[in-house]
Amino acid sequence: MSKRSVFVVGSRGQLGRDLMTALVNDFDLAGADLPEIDITNADSTADVIRPHNPDVIVNSAAFTDVDACETEHTAARAVNVDGPRNLADLAQAIDATLIHVSTDYVFDGQRQIPEPYRESDTPDPRTSYGHTKREGERAALAASDRVVIARAAWLYGFYGNNFIKTMLRLALEDSSRTLKVVDDQHGCPTWSGRLAEQIAALVTDGNSGIYHAVGEGHCSWYTFAGAFLELMRVEHDIAPCTTAEYPRPAPRPANSILMNERLSEEGINKMRPWRDDLELFVRLHRDALMQEAGKALARG
């Protein structure tokens, strides 16, 4: 029996590279990223993907700069709304399934902590980023009846830039400097490697609809940063602060806690406690992370 074929959009991004690793052994795999594919253009999308005739398209591409979305509305909508619509239209045309990665920002983030958001809860985004991601979900679901939405949150991994890499670089730059980290926003740290494994399970199962896929449990950014730096065995001095002390152009949700309800109910939950995944991530990548941070500091 031939393997099912999967095409990964955004294959060189943080999640995309982990997807290429997680899927390579069990599927006929192909992928593309900018500049060879432009998902905001339907013709470009079809020209790149159609020749592979995939059974499943996984979209890990997005305009994820939350603050930039507040001003760059056209670009954000093109990538986060038109992109998934074009991919879903193509998936419908070639009889493929689309797995589209979304975000906790589709919710208002105002729920009392630690009450989580479930797949059945009504989205109510409060930022331009959240609005475009929610519209992208709806556009994809409307275009095809074979769409899986996988909502993630607080994503980190070995590739690309992310919160914990920033914390590492700042701690190494000056371990005596007190780093203030927000302690009144709570969410679910999610390792991109584990999310890639979960998406592989969704590819295999062939389900549809909305799923939450995040690290189990929750914490604040302050707790997350402290746990990571301790595991990395890096001298550091961090102190908790409030969201009000660290204003940003786009408001951050106080509660980004998602529950993996559907994955658990259907017996396909591959996600693990966030601390366990963080420990494994550090065991696998500590030396390389230290080298990368050292090079970044040397470059200034």
262-300: pLDDT as tens digits: 999 999 999 999 999 999 999 999 999 999 999 999 997
Domain segments of the chain: what residues?
Answer: 5-162+190-216+257-272
Instruction: Annotate 267-281 with three-state secondary structure.
Output: CCCCCCEHHHHHHHH
Q: Which pLDDT score, from 0 to 100, does residue 300 have?
A: 76
On whether the CB atoms of residues 289 and 232 are closer than 8 A, the answer is yes
Given a cut of 80, is residue 205 above it in pLDDT?
A: no
Looking only at the bridges linking them, the beta strands covering 178-182 and 190-191 are unpaired
Mean pLDDT of 126-145: 97
- Name the pTM for this structure: 0.97
pLDDT per residue over 28-69, tens digit each?
999 999 999 999 999 999 999 999 999 999 999 999 999 999
CA distance readout (Å), 33 to 39, 62, 107, 124: 9, 11, 28, 30
- Looking at residue 246, its pLDDT comes to 87
Alpha-carbon gap, residue 272 to 263, rounded angstroms: 12
Q: 207 falls in which pLDDT band (50, 70, 90)? A: confident
Helix (H, G, I), strand (E, B) or coil at 150: strand
SS3 132: helix
Contact residues for 241 (Cβ-Cβ < 8 A; gap 6+): 180, 181, 182, 183, 222
User: 1 falls in which pLDDT band (50, 70, 90)?
Assistant: low
Q: Which residue has the higher pLDDT, 300 or 218?
A: 218
Length of the chain: 300
Would you tell me how many other CB atoms lie within 10 Å of the CB of residue 62?
Answer: 24
- In terms of pLDDT, which residue wins out, 3 or 290? 290
Q: How far apart are CA 73 and CA 42, in angstroms?
A: 19
Distance CA 38, CA 41 (A): 6
pLDDT above 90: residue 92: yes
Q: Name the one residue in this structure whose structure tokens are 């599927």.
A: 27
Dihedral pair phi/psi, residue 167, rounded to 5°: -60, -40
Residue 217: band (very low, low, confident or very high) from pLDDT cuts 50, 70, 90: very high
pLDDT of residue 206: 75
Q: What's the pLDDT score for residue 183?
A: 98
60 within 8 A of 10, measured Cβ to Cβ: yes
Report the CATH fold assignment for 5-162+190-216+257-272: Rossmann fold (3.40.50)
Does the structure show a pLDDT above 90 at 127? yes
Single out the residue of 57, 54, 108 nearest to residue 83, CA to CA: 57
The mean per-residue pLDDT over the stretch 228-246 comes to 96
Give the Cα separation of 73 and 132 in Å (integer): 9
Across all residues in the chain, what is the average pLDDT? 96
Measure CA of the first residue to CA of the last residue in the chain; give whole Å: 53
Residues identified as active-site: 129
Contact 198, 155 (CB under 8 A): no
Q: d(Cα 299, Cα 59) in Å, to the nearest integer? A: 33
Q: What percent of the chain has pLDDT over 90?
A: 96
